[in-house]
A and B are shown apart, each in its own frame.
Chain A
Amino acid sequence: MHEMGIVIKVVKTVEDFARNNGVTRIDTLVLQIGALSPVIPRYVESCYPMVVKNTRLEDTRLQIDVLPAMARCRACREVFDVLEHKSSCPVCHSGNPEMISGNEFMIKEIVAF
C-alpha cells in the first residue's frame, strides 16, 4: 500500500499552497482520482486522518471525486468507458483503444475561508 506516502505528499503540497496564498483555514480538500489510478480512494480516506494530525489540515474534510476511465477507439473514434465495456469498443468491437483519462491523481481544489 503506497497511499500513505502519497497522502503525506498531498498534504505537504496543500500546506505549501495555503502558506503561499495566505489561506488560513481550509474547510475541504478536493482530490480527483481516476478509476484506473493506482491510488485507491478507500485507502486514501483511511490514512488521511492520521496524516493530517498536527498539520494545517487537521480539521479539513476530504472529498474524493472519481473520474471515469475513458478511451477512444482507434478504428472508429468512439469514446467510451473502458471499465463498463471491458476495453473493447461498444460500436465496432475493436480492442486496444487509446486511453484518454482514468489515470489521474489531482489535487483539484480547496474550499477555504
Chain B
Amino acid sequence: MDTYKIIEIKESVFEDNNQRAELLRSELKKERTFLLNLMSSPGSGKTTTLVRTIYALKDEMAIGIMEADIDSDVDARTISKTGAKVIQLHTGGMCHLDAEMTRQGLEGLGTQGIDLAILENVGNLVCPAEFDTGASKNAMILSVPEGDDKPLKYPLMFSIVDVVLVNKIDAMEFFDFNLDVLKERVSKLNPGIKVIPISAKTGEGIDQWADWLRGEVKMWNNNSDCRSL
C-alpha cells in the first residue's frame, strides 16, 4: 500500500533572487561600480536618454552599458557610437532580468574600472518591477505620450524606483499630460521620490538628471562601509 507523506518545503521562489541581488549589490559596492537599473515601457526613450547621459558624464567617469533586448542589437549599436563600453544581453523571451542574468551581463561587460554601469531593462512596466537585479539604484522613464495616469495602472513600478524621468517634455503641448498631477500620484505611492522632467531630444533637463546620477555614483563609490540603499 502506498504511504503518502507531505513534505513541507516552504520556500519563497523570489527569496532566492533577493539573496542573489543582495550579494551582487555588495560585490559591486566593493568593486566601486554603481549599477543603475533603467526601466520603462517600450519606446519611452531609454536608449536616447542613455546616449545623452553618456555624453554628459563620460569625461568624469568610466561608463558601461548593458542593453537587454529580446532578440535585437539595434540599441547596443546606437550606444556603441558614443564610445562607451556596451554589451547586448539577449533575454530570449524573458520579460525581465533577474539578479543572475544581471550578474552574467556584468561579467560579460567587465566591471573592472567601470564607475557607472547602466542596465537598460526590457521594455515593460510590470515584470521588471518584481525582480531585484542587484542594482544600486532603480530609475524609470515615463514619457509624456504614455499619459499621467500610469502610476495608477502600474503602482508597483512607481513604488520601487528611486527616480522617475518624465521624458519627451518637448511634446507636452500635444498631450493632456499634467506634470503636477503626475507628481502628486507618484509621491502618494512613493514619498520622497525624485521626479525629473527631461527631453532626450532637445537635452532639456539632462543636466539635472546628470547631477542626480553623479551624486549617487559618488556616494556609492566613496564611502566603503555605508550602503546608500
Residues of A within 8 A of B (CB): 1-2, 4-6, 9-10, 13-14, 17, 21, 23, 27, 38, 96, 104-113
Contact = CB atoms under 8 A, between A and B. Distances in A.
Chain B interface size range: 20 to 34
B5 A112 contact: yes
Interface string B1-23: 01111111111111010000000
Contacts of A96: 188
Contact of B4 (A4, A9, A27, A108): A27
Contacts of A5: 94
Contact of B9 (A6, A105, A107): A107
A6 B13 contact: yes
Interface of A is mostly: mixed
A56 B2 CA distance: 18
Q: Is the contact region of chain B dominated by helix, strand, or loop, or is it mixed?
A: mixed
A79 B126 CA distance: 27
Given A2-B94, A27-B4, A113-B4, A13 B127 contact: no
B12 A113 contact: no
A107 B10 contact: yes
What are the 7 A-B residue pairs with the smallest beta carbon separation, nearest first? A38-B130, A107-B9, A2-B127, A109-B8, A107-B11, A105-B13, A2-B95
Nearest to B127: A2
